Amino acid sequence: MIERYTRPEMGAVWTLENRFQKMLDVEIAVAETQAELGIIPREAAAKIRAKSAFDVARINEIEKTTRHDVIAFVSNVAENVGSQGRYLHFGLTSSDVIDTAMSLMVRDAGRLLLKTLTALETALRKRSVEFADVLSAGRTHGMHAEPTSFGMKLAGFWSETARNRERLVRALAQMEIGKLSGAVGTYSTQTHLVEEGVCQRLKLQPERLATQVIPRDRHAEILWALSMIGAGLERLAVEMRHLQRTEVGEVVEGFSKGQKGSSAMPHKKNPISSENVTGAARMLRAYAGAAMEDIALWHERDISHSSVERVIFPDAFILCDYATDRMVKLIEGLEINRERMRANMDLSQGQLFSSHLLLALVEKGLSREDAYAHVQRLSHRMKPGSQLRDEALRDKEVGLLLTEEEVDDIFEGSRHREAIHSALERAGVIAPSAARIAKSLPKSVSGTQKRGPQTTRRKATQKAK
């Protein structure tokens, strides 16, 4: 991955130096386990631990002749170990070392990415609480539908991020796998006890049944989990891009001092972070597709997967970490325009509340079909500048069924705020209020049985009549 999109900690996991170090960790664990089992001399294992070292330049030099990087690596380490180096890589095939080392790298990269995802969850939850009661237009098909709140909107992305983190945890767990079963996976060159001992040392699980490689469905699941994170990031990024359009203007990405949006147009503030994350998500989906292609290897193995994985694993983890972190910064620095949200709601002239007017008429005795047709007729005949509330109050049939107070109650938005607040409490975004806890308790606990809101409204209406 290019330096521009590489955060240092994640980048360090995927360096060539770290790859060889993980391979060396596997080789040392193998030697020590074999010594315990009496397969190689104990002094050989001690020497391998004490003297093992590698030099990337030397490995590259040897590989020019061997045309095999693992052989070049083993040869270089053996040079440093001395005569006992003949016991290095004893009974192993290259994939034993490569695949087990890959599992160690993925585990380290996964831990870093989980920290970044947790930071995004925290940022989304914090801002969701901050704007829990700030109403904005909910949109379906890009059109105004019903009121929601900006906090409710962010809470949905918070919940999705949590699911994506859980998917990653599961994918990482199923790839904490070691494989030391030798050529074509038959353990013909050494006992399975070596694999078990090495995996115990490295805190991995032995592969149940392998060919010459760890089956690549495990690797594909990791890349799928990363692509799902990317898809979630893109959904959030697309939302931010739409809300930043000039015609909408409800949010603005943070704009730092000295930042410039366009080389030609000084006024520009563009949604560059959201667009950047959208592009990253496209790449992550492509990596997942490549990982799926790697599952079908010839017979017990080929190396068609090798060149692919050398690119997609570092790139996918680095890019996913970068994109997630960029979204953290976007959410933390996002500027929210409450006034514009209110003004945009007003553009639909109160029609955002049409479903509640419909339900109120049904509660008063109209059939759903008649109530729907009536509210639709009121909505579609509105002129520029008029409000659905006023149309309803002027309508004779509505006037026979609903009082002005009841109509006002529909259009003021308090019902939406209360329902949204309750939903956010149930989801664990915000702590439940004491009043709401008391209201939810059964009569035997709270001491009184309260009438529901519909009952209260019905009695008030009857009294008014």
Pairing of strands 177-178, 143-149: unpaired
Nearest CA to 425 out of 40, 129, 6 is that of: 129
Tokens of 325: 């972190």
Instruction: Report the alpha-carbon angle 355-359-360, nearest 5.
Output: 115
* Residue position matching structure tokens 């590698």: 54
The CB density around residue 309, as the number of other CB atoms within 10 Å, is 19
* Largest distance between two CA atoms of the chain: 104
In the residue annotation, 262 being an active-site residue is answered as yes
CA gap 197, 91 in Å, rounded: 15
φ, ψ for residue 137, nearest 5 deg: -75, 120
Tokens of 4: 């521009």
Out of 188, 192, 262, 367, pick the active-site residue.
Answer: 262
Tokens of 257: 């001092």
CA gap 189, 8 in Å, rounded: 40
Tokens of 241: 């891009």
CB 177 within 8 A of CB 205: yes
φ, ψ for residue 268, nearest 5 deg: -70, 135
φ, ψ for residue 143, nearest 5 deg: -110, 155
Q: How many residues does the chain have?
A: 465
Tokens of 361: 């008429």
CA gap 50, 81 in Å, rounded: 8
CA atoms within 13 A on the CB side of 379: 16
CB 59 within 8 A of CB 73: yes
Pairing of strands 205-206, 177-178: parallel
CB 75 within 8 A of CB 62: yes
In the residue annotation, 68 being an active-site residue is answered as no
CA gap 251, 237 in Å, rounded: 12
φ, ψ for residue 316, nearest 5 deg: -65, -45
* Residue position matching structure tokens 């990405």: 253
Residues marked as catalytic: 141, 262
